[in-house]
Structures are given as structure tokens and as C-alpha cells.
């Protein structure tokens, strides 16, 4: 008894110590400053002290267990002797009981060898409810019982009740089946209407996107053509202005002989030279015409090349639009298949959840979820 009390006191002390350690740990963990900074020497000293206390407690607990084991061994020996003595007394009492109360004439099998069995036996048939009237005894046949009319009336009433019950169950099953078919039909009609609305909205959106893209491409082509036309017109005007200035300027309208130099026919006096000769001008004009024609040819080639690039860009945009439409069509098919799969999975999950709810009566409450994250471990 003393050992048990010491053990209880040790358990209480150990429980209080664990509670205190838990409170200290919560204070350290929930303190953001100490947790971020790092080492806590005071906590380490406390841990060392607690480890020593734990070792001393373990040593005391082992000593207590050893004392309890000695005491239990002694008690076991006493109980073993007592059990052996009780077993001997029980065997002696059983033998006395068998000799006094379990005599041969009181046994169940004594009637097989009883000399007075025929005198004690009952008649073959006492009544219709006699349990000894078996089929092999041939003492009562079908329809010869005393309660024949009452039993027949009861069977007819029971058959009528069974027929009415089957009819009611059949009517209930047919009503449930009709209700389920109506609900299924309404659900399918609702899904079809939703799909038709979505398809119509998708068609309108696709038409608007195509129209906007077509208008944007048309505006781009028109802006590019207008910019090229303005550049070409500005360049022609600059060329005509330059030609006119050269033809009507002082440099081309004066006599070229006054600028002849004494150092040779190919030399001129810079401050007297007023222009070139007619042949030189014709040669220059011819060269300019050739340059103008060459430039026009290059411009036409550039225009043709730009038109080719525009045509290729339009073809590429049309091909990308067709590819995008095909991708959208494939995405719609995949999404339709995914919706069907999700619908079937949702039905299976709903049935499984329903079966689980029917099988399980305990549901988690707010108290169950509020107990988490309240301790330091």
C-alpha cells in the first residue's frame, strides 16, 4: 500500500513537471523574438537540470518497480498455494455431489435401461398439439387436425394481405420510377438548353472576333498603301522640283565658254563657270531618265514584293484562324467529354457520400477542429 501511494505521488509530480515544461516550451515557441534570435542558454540549463531530474526519477521508478516485483512474487506464491488448495476442495465437493444427487435413475439415458419404461410411457397420441406426433409415427396426416377450418381461414386472410401488400409495393415502385424518369428528363432538357445557349454565345463571339480581325487587317492594308502612295508622291515631287531648279537656274542658263580655263579644255574657272553644254545636259538628262526608270522599276518591284508579303501574311492569318477554330472545336469536345466524366464522378461521389453518411452516425463538429494548434508539439 505504501509503494502504491509513492507511485501515485511520483506520477502526480511527473505530470505537474510535464505541464510546467509544456507551458515553458509554449512561452519560448510563441515568443517571436526569442525564436528568431536563436540560442537560449537559460533554456539549455533548464533542459540539463530537467535531464538530471528525469534520470533521478527513472532511477527511483526502477527501484520502485523492483520492490513491486518482489511484492508481486510473494503474493503470487501465496495465491498459487491458495488456488491449489481450492482446487482440491472443489474436486472433493464434486465427488460428494455426484454420489448424493447424480444417481443412475436421475440420468437422461436411464430410460433406455429402465425396467418400468412401458408402464411409465404415454399413449401414441394425446392431442393434435402433441410434440411426439412425428411424420414417421403416422399418428396425424395432413388435413386431419382439429383446427383445419380456422387454419384455412387464417391462410386465406394471410394470402389476401400479402397480395394487397405486393400491390401497394408495386404501385409505390412504379410512382418512384416515374418520378425518377421525370427528374431525369427535366435534367437532360436543362443541360441541353444550357449547351445550346453556350454554343450560340460561342458562335456570336467567334463571328465578332473574325469581323474585328478582318476589319483590323483591312485597315492595316489601307494604311500601308496610303503611306506608300504618299511616300511615292513626295519623292516624285522632290525629283520634279530638283529637275526644274536645275533647268531654270543660273547655272544652266549661262554661256559655258566664259568659264574656259587656259590650263586645258577639261578645266574651268570656278568663279566664271555658269553651266554645262547642251550635249552634257542631254547626257545628264538621259542618265537621269535612266535613273528615274531604274528607280521606278525598283519601286514597282518593292511594291510587288510588299503585295506578296501582304498576301502571305493574309494566308498565314487565315491558316492560323482555321487552326484556332480546329483547336477550339477539339477543346469543346474534350470539355464535353470531361463534363460527362465529371458528372459521372460527381454522381458516384454523391452515392458514396450518401452511403458513408448512412453507415456512419458520428459527424465531426466545431469542437473537433478547434482542438488543433493549441499545443507546442
Q: Is 78 helix (H, G, I), strand (E, B) or coil?
A: helix
Residue 310 covered by a domain = yes
Residue 19 covered by a domain = yes
Residue 376 covered by a domain = no
Cβ pair 275, 253 in contact under 8 A: yes
Domain that holds residue 25: 1-29
Residue 339 covered by a domain = yes
Could you tell me which of 22, 106, 107, 9 has the C-alpha nearest to residue 57? Answer: 9
Contacts of 125 by beta carbon, 8 Å cutoff, 6+ apart: 132, 133, 139, 140
Residue 116 covered by a domain = no
Instruction: Spell out a b/e string for 112-134, using b for 16 or more CB atoms within 10 Å of the CB, else e.
Output: eeeeeeeeeeeeeeeeeeeeebe
Cell for 353? Answer: 457520400
Total number of domains constituting the chain: 2
Average pLDDT over residues 276-300: 88
Residue 5 covered by a domain = yes
Q: Dump pLDDT digits (tens) for 218-228.
A: 888 898 999 89
Residue 84 covered by a domain = no
What are the helix and strand counts (H, E) for the chain?
8, 2
Distance CA 211, CA 277 (A): 63
* Termini Cα distance of the chain: 37
Cβ pair 268, 261 in contact under 8 A: yes
Q: Dump pLDDT digits (tens) for 126-145.
A: 666 667 677 666 666 666 66
Q: What pLDDT, on the 0 to 100 scale, is given for residue 2?
A: 44
Q: Which of 77-81, 252-256, 328-332 has the lowest mean pLDDT?
A: 252-256
Q: Which of 50-54, 292-296, 305-309, 352-356 has the lowest mean pLDDT?
A: 352-356
Q: Is 235 helix (H, G, I), strand (E, B) or coil?
A: helix
Q: Please tell me whether the overall predicted TM-score, pTM, comes out greater than 0.95 for this model.
A: no
Q: What pLDDT, on the 0 to 100 scale, is given for residue 362?
A: 63
Residue 298 host element (H or E): helix 278-359
Q: What pLDDT, on the 0 to 100 scale, is given for residue 245?
A: 75
Confidence label for 1 from pLDDT (cuts 50, 70 and 90): very low
Distance CA 28, CA 34 (A): 7
Residue 21 covered by a domain = yes
Amino acid at each position: 500500500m505504501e509503494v502504491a501511494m509513492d507511485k501515485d505521488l511520483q506520477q502526480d509530480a511527473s505530470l505537474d513537471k510535464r505541464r510546467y515544461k509544456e507551458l515553458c516550451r509554449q512561452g519560448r515557441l510563441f515568443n517571436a523574438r526569442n525564436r528568431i534570435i536563436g540560442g537560449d542558454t537559460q533554456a539549455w540549463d533548464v533542459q540539463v537540470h530537467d535531464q538530471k531530474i528525469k534520470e533521478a526519477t527513472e532511477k527511483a521508478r526502477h527501484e520502485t518497480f523492483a520492490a513491486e516485483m518482489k511484492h508481486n512474487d510473494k503474493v503470487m506464491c501465496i495465491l498459487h498455494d491458495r488456488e491449489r488448495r481450492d482446487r482440491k476442495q472443489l474436486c472433493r465437493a464434486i465427488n460428494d455431489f455426484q454420489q448424493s444427487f447424480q444417481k443412475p435413475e436421475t440420468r437422461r439415458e436411464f430410460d433406455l435401461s429402465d425396467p418400468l419404461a412401458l408402464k411409465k410411457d404415454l399413449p401414441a397420441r394425446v392431442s393434435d398439439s402433441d410434440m411426439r406426433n412425428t411424420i414417421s409415427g403416422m399418428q396425424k396426416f395432413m388435413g386431419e387436425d382439429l383446427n383445419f377450418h380456422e387454419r384455412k381461414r387464417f391462410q386465406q386472410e394471410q394470402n389476401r394481405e400479402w397480395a394487397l401488400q405486393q400491390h401497394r409495393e408495386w404501385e409505390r415502385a412504379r410512382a418512384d420510377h416515374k418520378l425518377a424518369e421525370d427528374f431525369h428528363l427535366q435534367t437532360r432538357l436543362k443541360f441541353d438548353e444550357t449547351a445550346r445557349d453556350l454554343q450560340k454565345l460561342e458562335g456570336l463571339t467567334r463571328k465578332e472576333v473574325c469581323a474585328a480581325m478582318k476589319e483590323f487587317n483591312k485597315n492595316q492594308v489601307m494604311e500601308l498603301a496610303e503611306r506608300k502612295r504618299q511616300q511615292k508622291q513626295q519623292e516624285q515631287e522632290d525629283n520634279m522640283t530638283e529637275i526644274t531648279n536645275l533647268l531654270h537656274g543660273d547655272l544652266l542658263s549661262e554661256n559655258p565658254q566664259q568659264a574656259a580655263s587656259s590650263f586645258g579644255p577639261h578645266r574651268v574657272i570656278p568663279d566664271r563657270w555658269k553651266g554645262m553644254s547642251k550635249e552634257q545636259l542631254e547626257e545628264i538628262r538621259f542618265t537621269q531618265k535612266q535613273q528615274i526608270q531604274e528607280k521606278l522599276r525598283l519601286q514597282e518591284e518593292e511594291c510587288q514584293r510588299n503585295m506578296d508579303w501582304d498576301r502571305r501574311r493574309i494566308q498565314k492569318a487565315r491558316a492560323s484562324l482555321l487552326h484556332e477554330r480546329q483547336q477550339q472545336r477539339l477543346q469543346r469536345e474534350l470539355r464535353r467529354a470531361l463534363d460527362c466524366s465529371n458528372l459521372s464522378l460527381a454522381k458516384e461521389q454523391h452515392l458514396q457520400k450518401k452511403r458513408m453518411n448512412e453507415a456512419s452516425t458520428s459527424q465531426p463538429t466545431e469542437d473537433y477542429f478547434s482542438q488543433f494548434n493549441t499545443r507546442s508539439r
